Each structure stands twice: as C-alpha cells, then as structure tokens.
Amino acid sequence: MAVSPSYAPGAITMPGARSNSRNLPLGFSAVRVIVAPPLAMLGLVPPRVQACRPWVAAISGAGLSTRRTEGAGLKVTIFGMPRGPLVQQEGTGTMPDPPRIVTVSRPVLRPMFDAMELLLEAGGFHIAPYRSPEAFFADPSALAEADILLAAGNLSCTRALMSGAPRLRAVISPFIGTEGFDESAATDLGIVIANGQTPENAESMAEATILLMLAALYDLHGSEAVLRGTIPRPAASRAFMLRGKTIGMIGHGHIARAMTARLAGWDVRLLAWSRRRDVSISAVTWVDLDELLRGSDVVCVLLSLNAGTRGLLDAARLRQMKSDVVLVNTARGGIIDEAALVDLARERPEMRIALDTFAIEPLPEDSALRDLPNTILTPHMVGHTVESHAVLPGVAVDAIVRIMAGEPPLHVRNPAVIPAWRNRWRGQ
C-alpha cells in the first residue's frame, strides 16, 4: 500500500513521525487489500504481477474493520482502518482534527486521484474532492479550512486564492508541471509548492523525447504511409541518422540530464542553454540561446513554463533555426509561438516537427498544426509510462505525510520558503 522514498512498493518512513509497524503506513494496525486489475497502472499492484490476476496483500494484525470503495475502475477493500491520523508530531500527540486535503481533478485523472484519495482517507485524512476545476472555483470557501491542495500543476493557483487559505501549508502537483501555481506568491505566503519529480517521470520523458527525435529524423510516419498505400514509395530515402548531429537542449533540468546520459554513446554533439548552468556537466557545451538555435540540427524544448519562458521561442527566434531543423517540444506548448511556427513550417517544407504539448489542450480540431506536413503530434501523453504513473500516487501521499509531520517533501519547487515554513508550522 505504501511506498518508500525510492518509490518501490514497501514501507514508508517519515521524519518526525511514528509508525505502528515498519511495514505499515503510519497509523495502520493491519491492512489487507484486494485490488482489481485496472489498478496495476496506479502503483497499487506490483508491476511484476500479471494484469489478469488480482493481487491480495495480507499483513497480520488485529482490530480489523472493513470498508469498500468503488468507482472509475477502482475496486478496493481495506481491512484494518487506521488507529488515528497518519501523522503524530513530536511532543503534541495525535492531532485532534484530521488534516483537510482538498483535491481538484478532472475525468481523465480520476483513477489516479481515486487511488490517492483512498490511501489518504484510509490514513485518517479528511478529503474534500472537487471533480473538476470549475466545481472548485465555483466554491468560494473551498480552501477556507484546507491544509493541503492537491491538483494538477496547470490549475490556476494565484496569490489571491492562496491568501484566502489561512491553514494552507502546501500546494502539490502529483506530476512534474507546476506552471499554474504562483510559486513566488507561495514563497511570500510561506506555502510549499511540491511536485512529482521522480526518476521514473524524468527518465520516461527523456526516452520519449529521444523517441520523437528519431521518429522525425527517420520519417516514421512516411514509412507507415507507404506501407498503407496512402503515398508512393519515394525515389530517395527521407531518413537521416542521428549520428553526427548537433542536438540543442533548451533547458537542462532532470529530463535533459537523463537525455544527456542516454545519448552518451550516440556520437552526437550536445549543446545546452539554461538560466542555471551546471558547469560540472562536461558532456554538454553551454551556449547562449541564439547560438543554440543557429547551430543545432535538432532542437529540444525542455523548459518549465513560467513568466520568463512563455513565448520564449517567438517568430524571430524560430527563424534563427536551420531550414531543415527537427524541432521537438515535450515541455509546455506556451513556450513556442504556435502561429509563428505554423507560418515558418509552411515556408520551410524540409523542417520536421514533433510536439507533445500545445498552448491549448486538448489541441483544437481546427488547429493549423494538424495540417502541417512532416509533423508528429501527440496529446501530451507520449512520455506517460506505466512505470512513471505507478509511482505517482505514493509520491503524493509521501509528500502530504511529510508536510503534516512538519517536514518538507522530497520534491520542492520553491526551496527558499523552507526556513520560514518550518518556523510557521513548528509545533502545529
């Protein structure tokens, strides 16, 4: 049921908190979980178990009671309710009131949020679920008594919204992106912003970015079209090797570093631009953005979206790229001026494009991007793997338990807030 800091199925150990057993989530006396096969992708079922076989995990104990939760493919029976809230703080005993966790989801995220809510409810947390952002924003008192807000990172979490939440300790995205959260305001208000920046997440996105790069270079869709008979076999090959190419990475965070490691043996030259350069990484050549755009055969957009990166690749910058460049964006659509990209691609038919993210999602049916030649479009899911999704519910629960124990979570977006945050919540 719980996850360790390595995010494998196993025990959970939290600083500043106590557990009744090293093999149980905090506060549990005994747990038996019967999980239907669909939960395999959510990390509640070990990946090694075949999807056609339900998993039964039994942990001996006493004082059993029963609760059943169903919905969105979720069928779980828990025997052994918690003896109290998951967290006990040093010197204060068990908290008198269960922490209040406000969750904001939408239909496509329901199975994952069901899993997180189930774990938290079983641990004694009070869950206030909103099934859509619209329902959340329609309730002016949604955060009035909230201790933590758990939502996808594109939720608009503004200074005004957080200012009206006097008990709010943290805003958490179970995913990587936090572009909707005002991190500067959160820091001013003493609120932690956390996300699900796990190795599985970053490595999945790195592999997917390389996949798109190769699919574009090798004209994968063109070869498929020849097989299906929709276009004739070309007189000359349209595929290009990656070997010998210069790859420019705009941004060099966890995903870019994972790409750097994976491309080490590919005989490529790696350029990188970032506002925060790690000069200890010798595998890349650090250059300014304009030089990267002019000199790269492949340009990969790997930045977070914020006020400083929105529209970063405008018409002028896009025109600096080589006429036959391969442009890959697995970061956020708002970083690229899409209208300018459409105009440029129409002028340069030799250009190749692979996009997994868009300024408006889902991508509108009438988007001009859909009509561009030599373009691969995927609906912001190309790097969403079974392995990355498997760890996310446990990582989010881990972060919440740490926060309510007075400890920062493992993945903090605004670390400068930590000293003030500790002082604010010490002993509460």
Topology at the third CATH level for domain 200-377: Rossmann fold (3.40.50)
| pLDDT of 352 strictly over 70 | yes
* Partners of residue 69 on adjacent β-strands: 76
- Strand-pair category, 32-35 with 55-58: antiparallel
Q: Quote the Cα angle for 138-143-147, to 5°.
A: 155
Of 262, 264, 327, which is closest to residue 293 (Cα–Cα)?
Answer: 327
* pLDDT: which is higher, 179 or 70: 179
Q: Map residue 186 onto helix, strand or coil.
A: helix
Tens digits of per-residue pLDDT, 360-401? 999 999 999 999 999 999 999 999 999 998 889 989 999 999
Distance (Å, whole) CA 197 – CA 154: 15
Tens digits of per-residue pLDDT, 76-85? 333 333 333 4
Tens digits of per-residue pLDDT, 201-252? 999 999 999 999 999 999 999 999 999 998 999 999 999 999 999 999 999 9
Of 425, 381, 376, 419, which is closest to residue 403 (Cα–Cα)?
Answer: 425
Instruction: Write down the pLDDT at residue 122.
Output: 85
Compute CA distances 145 → 2, 62, 122, 181, 297, whole Å: 27, 34, 20, 19, 52
Q: Which token pair is 287? A: 């250059």
Instruction: Write down the pLDDT at residue 96.
Output: 53
Report whether the peptide linkage leading into residue 362 is cis, meaning its omega lies within 30 degrees of zero.
yes
Instruction: Write down the pLDDT at residue 63.
Output: 29
| pLDDT of 45 strictly over 70 | no
DSSP 415: G
Q: Which token pair is 330? A: 């697995």
Of 354, 331, 339, 336, which is closest to residue 249 (Cα–Cα)?
Answer: 331
Q: Count Cα neighbours of 47 within 13 Å in the Cβ-side half-sphere.
A: 10
321-339 mean pLDDT: 98
- The single-letter code of the amino acid at 300 is C
Whether the CB-CB separation of 25 and 19 falls below 8 Å is answered with yes
Instruction: Write down the pLDDT at residue 119.
Output: 87
| pLDDT of 49 strictly over 60 | no
Neighbours of 239 (CB within 10 A): 12
| pLDDT of 54 strictly over 80 | no
Q: Do domains 32-195+385-425 and 200-377 have the same CATH topology?
A: yes
Instruction: Write down the pLDDT at residue 425.
Output: 86
Domain locations in the chain?
32-195+385-425, 200-377
Q: Map residue 9 onto helix, strand or coil.
A: strand
Whether the CB-CB separation of 86 and 123 falls below 8 Å is answered with yes
* pLDDT: which is higher, 318 or 5: 318
Compute CA distances 82 → 39, 61, 65, 393, whole Å: 22, 12, 10, 19
Pick from 137-141, 286-290, 403-407: least confident: 403-407
| CATH no. for 32-195+385-425 | 3.40.50.720
Instruction: Write down the pLDDT at residue 17.
Output: 28
The model's pTM:
0.77
Neighbours of 388 (CB within 10 A): 22
Whether the CB-CB separation of 146 and 165 falls below 8 Å is answered with yes
